[in-house]
Chains A and B, each alone.
Chain A
Amino acid sequence: MKRSISFTLTLVLLLAIGITACQNADVNEPEVDTPIVADEEMSSESEAEPVTIRALIRPDEGENVATYAAKFEEMTGNKVEVDFVSWAEIHDKTITTLATGGGGYDIIFIPSANVVEFSSGDWFEPINDLITEENHGEWLASVVDLYTVDGNLIAMPWYAGGAHMAYNADILNNAGVDINSIETWDDLLAACRIIKETGAAEFCFSPSAKYPGNFYYNWGSMVLSNGNDFFDSEGNPIFQNNDAAVTALDFIKTGVDEGFFDPAGIALDDYETLIEFGTGKTAFLLDSTWAVTQATRNTDLSTITDSANFMLIPGNGEIRSSGYLYAGGLGLLKTSEHKDVAKEFLVFLTNEEAQKQHAIQGANLPTRLALYEDEEIASAWRGFDVLAQQLTFGKFPPQFDWFEEWRRSAATAVQDVMAGRSTSADAVNWLVDETNRINAQ
């Protein structure tokens, strides 16, 4: 009897503690958002009650999202709450959120690398009505296909992009290298030799190899532009059957050994190689659409905005160019309670106007075909045509749910070669074993 009383007392105490904590949390909220709270109270009497939709998005496109979320709020009266989670953490946050029921989000960002992974749990609502047969032709077909899983569109194509090459015209001029002479990787190596000999730049190129994602900007795109691929359409590894994989690794190794490439690349990510290029330390940059664009226009990150220019990624003589592509899509969660409003926002954020502004700000390439003909974008974005052209040569990485894990092993292989821990052939063989191991799981 007495025991149960003391137990009840404890529970009451705990509750009291819990409530004080809750109150504290709640009391604090309105302080910042006072006008909004008032707003909600006022409009709660109208029929179409305004709702709050929540989105989980990576921060790189933050400015564009913030602008159009504000416009959307103004237009519809609904509130958009966006959580920006940085590139390094968003994958883990997303997978935890998805695996445990959606975390109350309506919209979640799906990068092209994780389409299969994120869609395998059947978490996303098909949005086939947003891109119909009639308007399918307005979109970049490859991106729409990428986000179509088992015949269902699971995300609104938001942006496209990929690996691109930029060069520093000043450095090339000083070295006496004609940019038009560089069409193959061998040409590039020859140009590097001249740059090295003339001392026009500290390094010719810096291959970023720190994170698994940098695979796009080193080995990955180099193998593609050597005319081969890592996997066939079934997802079976084919890179051991041709020379391209070894050739590309040898190329990186030669560049590092000859002093053409910055050996620091092994510990640099794609942002850091951009900074190297932006300070005139390197002559060439192989990086994302966002990064190469920053080099030509963001004076905070680049002191060489005037001399930075774009070129096609070199090929092997037989093919002119290639490289990995990526894309970003926005998916609608099945657990969303405001699917209609969320869909409205998806359409709004991917409409021509928003994508156009996005493109003019220069972060990513649009997913609507019409915008590739747009005069305003072309005039605001120096070299837009080269980046657009690169897109036509590119290819999306293979789609299977163990790509993230495989990419980590591929990054290790590149690092092993750069650090001199293994030969190119050994690294390829090791990766074959790794591929089989990961595949078998």
Chain B
Amino acid sequence: MSTVLSYSSIKNKLHSSWKKHRTKKWLGKTITYLFVIMLVIAILAPFVWMVISSISPQVELSAKPPHWFPENPTLSRYRALIFGSSSGAAVPAATAKFLKGMRNSLVVSVITTVICVVTGTMAAYALARLPVLGKNNFMIGTLSAQMTPVIVIVIPLYLLLQQFDMIDTQRGLILLYTGFMLPTVIWVMHSYFLTIPQSLEEAALIDGCNHVTALIKVVLPLSGPGLVAVSAFTFLSSWNEFFMALIFTSSQAKTITVVVTEFSSQFGVDFGLMATGGVIGSLPPLILAFLFQRYIVEGLTAGALKGE
């Protein structure tokens, strides 16, 4: 009797717990999706609002509350910035400046990235595989150098660039950015190299390769994700930098972040125009980040975590 009862009660219990489990799972899923939707809104909303602002006429932006969806959307600001001034918009010479700013940013960021990745990888390989005196101190040193606020060294840097005749040049900015990004590149690549088994290289070394050819033929092909991550990171940081670009460049080498801030007064306080500049200026780093999303997170995690 008791055994039968207990058997059926267990069966009942099991059944109800399975049912409960299913409801719970369903509930959990709903909550998850709700949170995910909220998260996505929180992440996107500010930027989307900037995009909407960039296509809204000023009058609609000054309404209370603002028109969330513009009644008369306009692409005139984009046209004005990219193709030249249109229908009476007060945007004198903005186009040329804007495009020049974009081009300067592109040239500076690309070259900075190339130099940083090449020299940084060389240094990181040496630190990971070869006997270097004071290796640890060197690593900390590079990190702390990067931690100093730029404002402090603006004047000494200015004097330095002046000596090299590099004020308002792309190569001046490239030199500065390279110096400031190198520590990150070295840290990330160093830790990446540590994750690659040394035995592979040893085989190559025994086959008569030297360290340099081993680096190129064996190690680099295996470091793809790390290289992509540091490249993307370097490009992004150079593209986004503002203060040094403001102080060290003027009409010739001015980058897009500086140009964007100029819209605040030169052409009236058209927030829409600033938003337009902001949107276009953000596109290259955004595209890059989205394309290499996987590598950026992986590579930078490795760099931050496995640093010696």
Contact = CB atoms under 8 A, between A and B. Distances in A.
A and B in contact, CB less than 8 Å: yes
Interface of A: 17-18, 20-22, 24-25, 28-29, 32, 54, 56, 58-60, 62-63, 66, 81-89, 92-93, 96, 99-101, 103-104, 271-272, 274-275, 279, 294, 298, 300-301, 303
The 8 closest A-B pairs by CB, nearest first: A59-B266, A25-B170, A83-B250, A271-B269, A21-B171, A100-B158, A62-B266, A83-B251
A137 to B, nearest CB: 34
A89 B268 CA distance: 16
Interface stretch (B13-21, B90-98, B201-209): B90-98
Contacts of A85: 246, 250, 262
A103 B250 contact: yes
Nearest to B253: A25
B247 A300 contact: no
Nearest to A29: B252
Contacts of B267: 59, 62
Contacts of A32: 96, 100
A274 B62 CA distance: 12
B162 interface: yes
The contact size tier of chain B is 35 or more
9 contacts: A25-B171, A56-B250, A58-B265, A59-B265, A82-B251, A86-B262, A100-B155, A103-B168, A104-B167
Interface of B: 58-59, 62, 90, 92-93, 96, 100, 103, 107, 111, 115, 118, 154-155, 158-159, 162, 167-171, 174, 246-247, 250-254, 261-262, 264-270
B167 A103 contact: yes
A280 to B, nearest CB: 10
A229 B37 CA distance: 58
- Which of A32, A87, A100 is packed against the most chain B CB atoms within 10 Å? A100
A323 to B, nearest CB: 22
A378 B227 CA distance: 66
Contacts of B111: 20-21, 24
B251 A81 contact: yes
A96 B251 contact: no
A54 B170 contact: no
Contacts of A92: 246-247
Contact of A100 (B90, B103, B159, B261): B159
A101 B103 CA distance: 28
Contact of A96 (B154, B171, B265): B154
A236 to B, nearest CB: 32
Given A17-B115, A25-B171, A86-B264, A66 B93 contact: yes
A25 B268 contact: no
Nearest to B272: A300
Contacts of A96: 154-155, 158, 247
A22 B268 CA distance: 36
A187 B268 CA distance: 33
- Which of A24, A82, A99 is packed against the most chain B CB atoms within 10 Å? A24
Given A28-B170, A83-B251, 13 more contacts: A21-B170, A29-B252, A32-B100, A85-B246, A86-B262, A88-B264, A96-B154, A96-B247, A99-B155, A101-B162, A103-B167, A271-B265, A275-B62
B206 to A, nearest CB: 24
A17 B174 CA distance: 11
- Which of A22, A28, A88, A93 is packed against the most chain B CB atoms within 10 Å? A28
A412 B253 CA distance: 37
B251 A54 contact: yes
B270 A300 contact: yes
Contacts of B254: 83
Contacts of B162: 100-101
Contacts of A271: 265, 269
Contacts of B115: 17, 21
Contacts of A303: 59
Contacts of A66: 92-93
Contact of A22 (B171, B262, B264): B171
A29 B104 CA distance: 10
A107 to B, nearest CB: 13
A279 B174 CA distance: 45
Nearest to A96: B247
Contacts of B107: 24-25, 28
A32 B95 CA distance: 12
A104 B168 contact: yes
Contacts of B251: 54, 81-83
- Which of B62, B92, B118 is packed against the most chain A CB atoms within 10 Å? B62
Contacts of A17: 115, 118
A301 B265 contact: no
A300 B103 CA distance: 30
A271 B252 CA distance: 29
B174 A21 contact: yes
Nearest to A303: B59
B124 to A, nearest CB: 16
- Which of A17, A59, A301 is packed against the most chain B CB atoms within 10 Å? A17
Contacts of B167: 103-104
Nearest to A100: B158
A18 B171 contact: yes
Nearest to B99: A32
Contacts of B247: 92-93, 96
B265 A87 contact: yes
A209 B32 CA distance: 45
Contact of B265 (A81, A86, A99, A275): A86
Nearest to A87: B265
